[in-house]
Amino acid sequence: MHIAIVGAGQAGAALAAKLRALGHTGPVTLIGAEPAAPYQRPPLSKAYLLGEMPLERLMLRAPEFWQAQDIRLMTGAAVSSLDPVARTLRVGDEVLRWDQLALTTGAHVRRLPAAMGGNLPGVHYVRTLADVDGMAPEFVAGRRVLIVGGGYIGLEAAAVAAKKGLHVTLIEAAPRILQRVAALETSDWFRALHTRHGVQIIEGVALSGLTGQGLVSGADLADGRHIPCDFAIVGVGILPETALAEAAGIALDNGIATDEQGRTSAPGIWAAGDCASFPHGAGRLRLESVPNAIDMAECVAGNMLGAGKPYAPKPWFWSDQYDVKLQIAGLNTGYTRVVVRDGGTARSHWYYAGDRLLAVDAMNDPRAFMIARRLIEAGRSADPALVADPATDLKSLMG
């Protein structure tokens, strides 16, 4: 049985490796559009951009791994079409026949329209190694960078730029940074962190457009302000990469729609990672994180071999900014209140719906993260009054 995997990122690499670990001996082909072998993206906006992580350490596997596992890795190879009935795909001039196929095509950045200066030279986006290699030479002390978007990517880029001695202005159209993903308390905490490092944060003001003659040189804001800059970074979200699936007639619903096992609407075709939405509660969920990419891919690998197991996500995430490690456990959707546990340098924000613990943002507090994660994964809660008291030994919450 030939299994083909389209998209050689975090999910595709995990899926291919898991097929072998589970004992699949038939041919496996892992096809990626990017020139590089599978690599991890998180350091792109953190240690790698800072220049503190060499390229080899970005790679998910040593170069010899793929050959040793008898996985055919095709890089620089964009799949242009697939035929779910004939069970073929086209890559360059080659037509490959597959028995089962996984789509792990990830996501692409949301770009600013050209009319807003989104294509001006000096405007950078953050998704691929090539993107980051392209922007790294711009990070020279004393230069001015304008960052559009106050989500994790924008804030991480701001932290790197500030650490490298650049003048950083970050603009966010929503009333506060991290509004889409975090509570007011977390936004406030990160705003204060960045302000202490000299980053100017402008919230609640939309960008009218990036401006410049031949090269970006500033931004016009909706309130009439003009912010001059030497280069710009846009981090305004991503869109699931669904073009191939859509053209093949596969059902979409905020990404490639899968059932609970990761099957798409086309027989023999599966999906995992950033590109895939799966049933969750009464609706569907699509997660954009490394843990989800790996866990869903590994679950799908098993199911391709007949395991028949539903994917049960255990959401967690992290972000590094300056000397702060943020770790998030759970999903905060539907929270009604936030309990703050202030232990000085270690701090955590606990999200509750009534008395039910949903999620935690832990800043330099790995213990709070670990215990909250265990509680959430076990479907348990923790008394908010005890959580709020820094004198409570968190371990006692495990009962």
Interacting residue ranges for ligand FAD, rule: CB under 6 A: 6-12, 31-34, 41-42, 44-45, 78-79, 104-107, 126-127, 153, 241, 244, 273-275, 288-291, 293, 317-319
User: Sheet containing 100-103: which strands, arranged edge to edge?
Assistant: 71-74, 28-31, 3-6, 100-103, 269-271
Output the smallest distance, CB 171 to ligand FAD, in A. 19
Q: Nearest residue to ligand FAD, using CB?
A: 9
Output the smallest distance, CB 91 to ligand FAD, in A. 7
Output the smallest distance, CB 265 to ligand FAD, in A. 18
Output the smallest distance, CB 128 to ligand FAD, in A. 7
Instruction: For ligand FAD, give the closer residue by CB, 102 or 201.
Output: 102
Output the smallest distance, CB 98 to ligand FAD, in A. 14
Instruction: For ligand FAD, give the closer residue by CB, 247 or 398.
Output: 247
**Close Cβ partners of 385 (under 8 Å, ≥ 6 residues apart):** none
Instruction: For ligand FAD, give the closer residue by CB, 118 or 218.
Output: 118
Show the tokens assigned to 24: 């699949």
Three-state SS letters, 270-327: EECHHHEEEEECCEEECCCCHHHHHHHHHHHHHHHCCCCCCCCCCCEEEEEECCEEEE
Instruction: For ligand FAD, give the closer residue by CB, 116 or 256.
Output: 256
User: Sheet containing 207-211: which strands, arranged edge to edge?
Assistant: 207-211, 218-221, 226-228
Closest among 94, 73, 78, 82 to 33, alpha carbons compared = 78
Place of tokens 């000299």: 198
Using DSSP's 3-state secondary structure scheme, residue 337 falls into strand
Instruction: For ligand FAD, give the closer residue by CB, 210 or 297.
Output: 297
Instruction: For ligand FAD, give the closer residue by CB, 189 or 352.
Output: 189
Distance set, CA 28 to CA 1, 74, 294, 297 (Å): 9, 11, 18, 14
How many angstroms separate the CA atoms of 386 and 384, rounded?
5
Angle subtended at Cα 248 by Cα 89 and Cα 78, rounded to the nearest 5 degrees = 45
Output the smallest distance, CB 394 to ligand FAD, in A. 23
Instruction: For ligand FAD, give the closer residue by CB, 154 or 218.
Output: 154
Instruction: For ligand FAD, give the closer residue by CB, 60 or 205.
Output: 60
How many angstroms separate the CA atoms of 359 and 330, rounded?
4
Output the smallest distance, CB 372 to ligand FAD, in A. 17
User: Element (H or E) spanning 152, and its range?
Assistant: helix 152-163
Place of tokens 């966010």: 172
How many angstroms separate the CA atoms of 29 and 313, rounded?
26
Output the smallest distance, CB 160 to ligand FAD, in A. 11
For residue 146, report the phi and psi dihedrals to the nearest 5 degrees.
Answer: -105, 125
Instruction: For ligand FAD, give the closer residue by CB, 31 or 227.
Output: 31
Output the smallest distance, CB 38 to ligand FAD, in A. 8
Say if CB 174 and CB 180 are below 8 A apart.
Answer: yes
Beta partners for residue 74, in sequence order: 31
Output the smallest distance, CB 192 to ligand FAD, in A. 21
Instruction: For ligand FAD, give the closer residue by CB, 110 or 356.
Output: 110
Using DSSP's 3-state secondary structure scheme, residue 98 falls into coil
